[in-house]
Amino acid sequence: MENSITNYYNSYDEDGRLFRDYSHQIEWLTTMHYFDKIIPACSKIFDGCAGTGNYAFKLAEQGHRVAASDIVPHNVDIMLQKQERSPILDDIFVGDICACNHYNDHYFDAVLCMGAFYHLDETMRYKAMEQCLRLLKDGGILVISYINLITVLHMNLKPGLENISEILKCCSTKSLGDSFVYMMPEEIEDMAAKYKLTILNHITSDGNPLARGADFNKARKEDFEKYMELHLSICENKSLLGYGLHGLVFLTNK
C-alpha cells in the first residue's frame, strides 16, 4: 500500500491542488477558517499527513509552532525546499502516522491527520487514531479528514450506467481498486465515540462538486466570495455533510 501511495503522489501536483481553481480553493479556505476558529493561538501542532506543507507553513506563519511529516519522500523534499526559503517549521521528516515514534506522549496541542484516512482500511485507521491520541495533550485538538463514499459513487458513475457493477463493488469494498479508501460520515463519528472524544465540528470542507458545473470556476471573484459566505454558513448541515466530497472533523479529548 505504501508504494502505491508514494507512486500516486510522485506524479500528482499535490502542492498546487488546493489553489488550482475556485472549486479546489473552497477546501483550503474552509479548512483555514476552522483552524482559525478552533485551534488556540500559539499552539504546538503536528501535521502528520502534511503533503507538501501548505497548511503547515500557513499555520507557522500565523504564529503556531509546527512540525510536519508525510509518508511520501517526494512531498517531504518539497517541504524542505520551502523551509530553505522560509525556515519557519520546527521539524520536517518522512514518517508514517500509524507508527509515529518521533515525539513523546502528549507533546502537541493539536494533531492534524488530514490525508491518511484517504488510504487506510479500518484496522489501520484505528492504529493512526491511537498514534494521534498518544501525541495529543489532554484537552488538545485532533483534526481528521476523509473522503465521503457516497459522493465518490456518484462522481464515478458513467453515462448510461455502463459501470454500475464497478460502482456496486465500490459501495461494498469502499474502494475503486486503487490506493484510495472511502468512508461514511457516521464512521468517523463512531470512531470518536469509541475513543470517548467530543466532536467540536463536523463539516464538509468542499461540499458537493456535482452541484457545480464547469462554469463555476469562471465566476467573478466577488461572486465566489459570496459563495464562500454561503458555504461556510451551511457546511456543518447534516444534509450537506452526507454528500460533500471531503469531510473534516474537529475532535477533543477534553
pLDDT, tens digit, 9 for 90 and up, residues 179-207:
999 999 999 999 999 999 999 999 999 99
Q: What's the confidence (pLDDT) of residue 100?
A: 86
Burial 48-57 (b: 16+ CB within 10 A, else e): bbbbbbbbbb
Q: What's the confidence (pLDDT) of residue 157?
A: 96
Is the per-residue pLDDT at 243 higher than 90? Answer: no
Name residues whose C-beta falls within 8 Å of residue 38's C-beta, 6 or more positions apart in sequence. 141, 200, 201, 250
pLDDT tens readout for residues 163-176: 999 999 999 999 99
Measure CA 69 to chain center. 14
Can you tell me the mean pLDDT for 241-253? 95
Q: Tell me the C-alpha distance between 180 and 114, whole Å.
A: 14
Exposure on the CB side of residue 109, measured as CA atoms within 13 A = 12
Q: Please, what is the Cα angle at 200 between 199 and 203, to 5 degrees?
A: 90
Q: What's the confidence (pLDDT) of residue 124?
A: 95
Per-domain residue ranges of the chain: 16-45+100-252
Q: How many residues does the chain have?
A: 254
Q: What's the confidence (pLDDT) of residue 185?
A: 96
Residue 204 parent element (H or E):
strand 198-204
Structural contact between residues 98 and 116, judged by C-beta atoms closer than 8 angstroms: yes
Is the per-residue pLDDT at 36 higher than 80? Answer: yes
pLDDT tens readout for residues 58-82: 999 999 999 999 999 999 999 999 9
Can you tell me the mean pLDDT for 28-46? 98
- 108-113 and 44-47 strand pairing: parallel
Cell of 141: 485538538
Q: What's the confidence (pLDDT) of residue 213?
A: 85
Strand order in the sheet with 65-70: 91-94, 65-70, 44-47, 108-113, 136-147, 246-252, 198-204
Q: What's the confidence (pLDDT) of residue 210?
A: 81
Look up the pTM and report it: 0.96
Which is nearest to 142 in space by CA: 160, 155, 129, 151?
A: 129
The hierarchical CATH code for the domain 16-45+100-252 is: 3.40.50.150
User: Burial, 84: exposed, middle or buried (Cβ in 10 Å; 0-12, 13-18, 19+)?
Assistant: exposed
CA dist list (Å): 121 to 35, 56, 183:
27, 25, 9
Directed axis angle between helix 54-61 and helix 73-85, to 10°?
30
Contacts 24+ apart (CB under 8 A), 150-154: 150/184, 150/242, 150/243, 151/208, 151/209, 151/210, 151/243, 151/244, 151/245, 152/176, 152/182, 152/245, 154/210, 154/243
pLDDT tens readout for residues 105-158: 999 999 999 999 999 999 999 999 999 999 999 999 999 999 999 999 999 999
Is the per-residue pLDDT at 92 higher than 70? Answer: yes
Q: What's the confidence (pLDDT) of residue 254?
A: 82
Q: Tell me the C-alpha distance between 201 and 204, whole Å.
A: 10
pLDDT tens readout for residues 1-19: 567 888 899 989 999 999 9
- 136-147 and 108-113 strand pairing: parallel
Q: What's the confidence (pLDDT) of residue 3?
A: 76
